[in-house]
Amino acid sequence: MLDKKPLIGITAGFDYSENKLYINSGYYEGIINAGGLPVVLPVTRNIDCYNSLIMEFDGFLLSGGPDVDAKHWHDKNYVFNGEISPYRDELEIFIVREAIKRNKPVFGICRGAQVINIALGGTIYQDIYSQINNDNLEKHSQQAPKWYPTHNIHIEKWSRIYKSHAKDTIRVNSFHHQAVKDLAPGFKVSSRCEDGVVESIEHETCTFAVGVQWHPELMWERDRTFLKLFEDFVECCNNCTSN
């Protein structure tokens, strides 16, 4: 009998004009290559479905996407906040809170990292170029192939990011204009860009609650070291389902 693979729910984008889900294949192929069984989750407001998702899945991957409604951290939506996905906001914030409560692994990529922070009481910059007073800000929305790394990040040696890459500096890709501002309780910054912008956060006590600002799902096929964080995540999901 084949070993049971951990079941991992992946959140997707939602096109409100056509009522369609969309997702980059790098997310679910990354989970498959790391040994997990991915399932793309529906974007729904059905609370019974929300509760069932939490109970059935061993871990959750929050994918990249549009901006988050600032109401979720008690702020106004300023002119530089972009497209908002209200149903997705509600679903992902629920998933993060309930998964953390149950110590189920959560992995957030780009928007996903920001949602993790917001869901647990943190805040974000709605636009780093408008709200951070730093003349040396680097380009965080690159005009280069999506797989191509364009700036360095510096990694804390205690972190899972360091465990995955075994380096305190790596080069990553970048497609964001928002970033973590005030950390949610229980989290620590595990890496920063050279301009000081937060690039990853990790929970201090949860089995796996990690958010990264770059897009490893677009990089791992060309550089397999970017698959290692997926493997760490899936391993933690597997340990949870085995307990």
C-alpha to C-alpha distances, 134 to 131, 171, 194, 196, nearest whole angstrom: 9, 21, 12, 9
Has residue 2 been placed in a domain? no
Decide if 1 is inside a domain. Answer: no
Q: How many residues does the chain have?
A: 243
Domain span at 61: 7-242
Interval 55-112: pLDDT, tens: 999 999 999 999 999 999 999 999 999 999 999 999 999 999 999 999 999 999 999 9
Residue 243: pLDDT band with limits 50, 70, 90: low
Please check whether residue 179 lies inside any domain of the structure. Answer: yes
CA 171, CA 217: separation in Å to the nearest integer? Answer: 15
Question: Residue 45 has what pLDDT?
Answer: 87
Q: What is the CATH number of the domain that holds 111?
A: 3.40.50.880
| Model pLDDT, residue 25 | 97
Contacts of 79 (CB under 8 A, 6+ apart): none
Domain count, the chain: 1
pLDDT, residue 181, reads 98
| Chain center to CA of 14 | 17
Instruction: Determine, yes or no, domain membership for 113.
Output: yes
pTM: 0.95
Cβ burial 146-177 (10 Å sphere, 16+ → b, else e):
ebebbbbbebbeebbbbebbeeeebebbbbbb
